């Protein structure tokens, strides 16, 4: 019986991992219920690991041919730099992340990494090189240790603990009566939004990707938590090519470049201070957000 049990148990674990990996990614990309549209090219090559220059090369894209979502979107994220994309809801920000992860293929132009069209790469190697910190992290019904180690299932205990320390989770975990063995998820301890994001950061640090996508949470974290998370994200982004999908402008001030999208067109680009001085779309969004924050602070 034991001979049967071991492979079955292994299959169970494997199934759980695959299911959960899909759940995380689908949630991040809002793809629940949609099918995968891309396949590996017959001569697809693995992406070489290391410094990654990302380029959206005159990208055009539509989910439905009748409604174009991205128009001639052209920008680069040099290796190790951070580019933040801002714009109103529906302007196409998350679509850029979906295209970089190759959930869909572009219809015009190309997405390139180190000059290589990602359609010529194996999907496994592409996805192994990209880490995602999603808006809303999915936790398994399992221990905190398992939930962090999930970033790289073969990571050692020391590596998992180091990642938790870097994400500033360690002291939180050590204060829990069951520590690392605390069960979380639907049937366990409920973590706050900030704690969940720290779990996502720790997972990403373990995965050690060359490219990082950070989909900023829309739900407001309190400003102290937000600042702390921002510092940990800045640390995680160091040395990696990072695409930030930003909902709050206060978090993009230090990006190397800010791209302003409006209905799928890049309407402005530059550093925070340059864009404010320009007095255009970005400056208007900034003023609006300042007013909203002042009103919220007055009401609190
Ligand atoms: P938000 O800030 O609200 O997250 P966004 O700028 O990230 O918005 P996207 O999610 O990129 O916007 O969506 C851009 C447009 O594409 C929207 O009009 C949306 O309705 C449409 N869209 C997104 N996903 C799909 C899909 N799977 N099928 C068809 N249309 C889609």
Q: For position 32, what pLDDT does the model report?
A: 44
Chain centroid to CA 55: how far?
A: 17
132 in Cβ contact with 204 (< 8 Å): yes
Q: Kindly tell me if the per-residue pLDDT of 152 is higher than 50.
A: yes
- Residue of 37, 84, 93, 259 best suited for mutating to test ligand 1, as the one with most atoms within 8 Å of CB: 93
Q: Kindly tell me if the per-residue pLDDT of 211 is higher than 60.
A: yes
- Residue 168 region by backbone torsions, left for phi larger than 0, else alpha for psi between -120 and 50, else beta: left
Half-sphere exposure of 288 (CA within 13 A, CB side): 12
Taking 3-state DSSP, the helix, strand and coil percentages for the chain, each rounded to the nearest 5, stand at 45, 20, 35
85 in Cβ contact with 91 (< 8 Å): no
Q: Kindly tell me if the per-residue pLDDT of 34 is higher than 60.
A: no
Q: Which of 41-50, 167-176, 214-223 has the lowest mean pLDDT?
A: 214-223
Q: Kindly tell me if the per-residue pLDDT of 226 is higher than 60.
A: yes
Residues 6+ apart with CB under 8 A from 289: 248, 249, 250
How far is the centre of ligand 1, averaged over its atoms, from the C-alpha of 216 (Å)? 15
Q: Kindly tell me if the per-residue pLDDT of 215 is higher than 90.
A: no
More confident of the two residues 33 and 271: 271
Confidence of residue 250 (pLDDT cuts 50, 70, 90): confident
ipTM of the complex as predicted: 0.97
Strand pairing of 82-87 and 257-262?
Answer: parallel
CA 78 – CA 175 distance, rounded (Å)? 41
CA 176 – CA 135 distance, rounded (Å)? 25
Q: Which of 169-178, 191-200, 211-220, 268-277 has the lowest mean pLDDT?
A: 211-220
Residue nearest to atom 15 of ligand 1 (CA): 90
Strand pairing of 265-270 and 70-77?
Answer: unpaired
The top-scoring range by mean pLDDT among 13-17, 46-50, 53-57, 194-198 is 53-57
Q: Kindly tell me if the per-residue pLDDT of 23 is higher than 70.
A: no
Give 121's strand partners.
45
More confident of the two residues 135 and 43: 43
Chain centroid to CA 111: how far?
A: 17
Residue nearest to atom 21 of ligand 1 (CA): 90
């Amino acid at each position: 019986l034991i001979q049967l049990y071991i492979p079955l148990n292994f299959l169970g674990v494997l199934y759980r991992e695959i299911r959960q990996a899909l759940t995380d990614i689908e949630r991040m990309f809002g793809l629940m219920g949609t099918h995968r549209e891309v396949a590996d090219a017959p001569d697809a090559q693995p992406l070489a690991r290391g410094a990654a220059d990302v380029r959206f090369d005159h990208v055009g894209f539509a989910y439905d041919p009748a409604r174009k979502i991205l128009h001639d979107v052209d920008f680069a994220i040099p290796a190790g730099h951070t580019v933040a994309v801002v714009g109103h809801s529906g302007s196409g920000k998350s679509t850029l992340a979906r295209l970089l992860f190759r959930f869909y293929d572009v219809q015009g132009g190309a997405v390139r990494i180190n000059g290589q069209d990602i359609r010529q790469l194996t999907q496994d190697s592409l996805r192994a090189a990209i880490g995602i910190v999603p808006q809303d992290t999915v936790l398994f019904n399992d221990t905190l240790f398992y939930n962090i180690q999930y970033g790289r299932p073969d990571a050692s205990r020391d590596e998992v603990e180091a990642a938790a320390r870097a994400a500033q989770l360690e002291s939180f975990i050590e204060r829990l009566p069951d520590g690392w063995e605390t069960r979380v998820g639907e049937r366990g301890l409920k973590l706050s939004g900030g704690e969940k994001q720290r779990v996502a950061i720790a997972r990403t640090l373990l995965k050690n990707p060359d490219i990082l996508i950070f989909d900023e949470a829309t739900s407001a974290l309190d400003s102290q938590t937000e600042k702390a998370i921002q510092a940990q994200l800045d640390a995680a982004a160091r040395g990696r090519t990072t695409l930030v999908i930003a909902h709050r402008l206060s978090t993009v001030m230090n990006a190397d470049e800010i791209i302003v999208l409006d209905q799928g067109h890049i309407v402005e680009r530059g550093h925070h201070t340059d864009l404010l001085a320009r007095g255009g779309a970005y400056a208007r969004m900034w003023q609006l957000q300042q007013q909203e924050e002042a009103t919220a602070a007055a009401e609190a």
